[in-house]
Amino acid sequence: MSIELPTETQREAIASIVRYFQEERDEEIGQIAASGLLRFFLEEIGPSIYNKAVADIQQRMQLHVTDLDIEFHQQEFQHWPQSERQRRAG
């Protein structure tokens, strides 16, 4: 599975790479080289980031699913216990 970025996101990422090289490394890198670098990172490192994000979401969802029983549990067969409590109080 290759990671594809929307066109505008890709443009912004390339511009950011160019700026990084200019400001942080005092080097010039062209749009084509920056695009190639972005493509390399997406192919090489992107899946690791994607997999970590999926694992994080799975863990978070599992916590929410576990809490469903606590949050939404309803006591069953409550008519008679309530009725008996009312008779004793009344």
Residue 52 near residue 31 (C-beta atoms within 8 A):
no
Which own/partner pairs from 32-36 qualify as long-range (CB within 8 Å, at least 24 positions apart)?
Answer: 35/10
Percent of the chain topping pLDDT 70: 98
Arithmetic mean of pLDDT over the chain: 93
Provide the residue ranges of all domains of the chain, joining segments of one domain with +.
Answer: 7-73
Q: Give me the pLDDT at residue 86, please.
A: 86
Q: Model confidence over 28-66: pLDDT tens digits?
A: 999 999 999 999 999 999 999 999 999 999 999 998 888
Neighbours of 14 (CB within 10 A): 22
pLDDT class for 22, splitting at 50, 70, 90? very high
Q: Give me the pLDDT at residue 68, please.
A: 85
Q: How far apart are CA 38 and CA 63, in angstroms?
A: 35
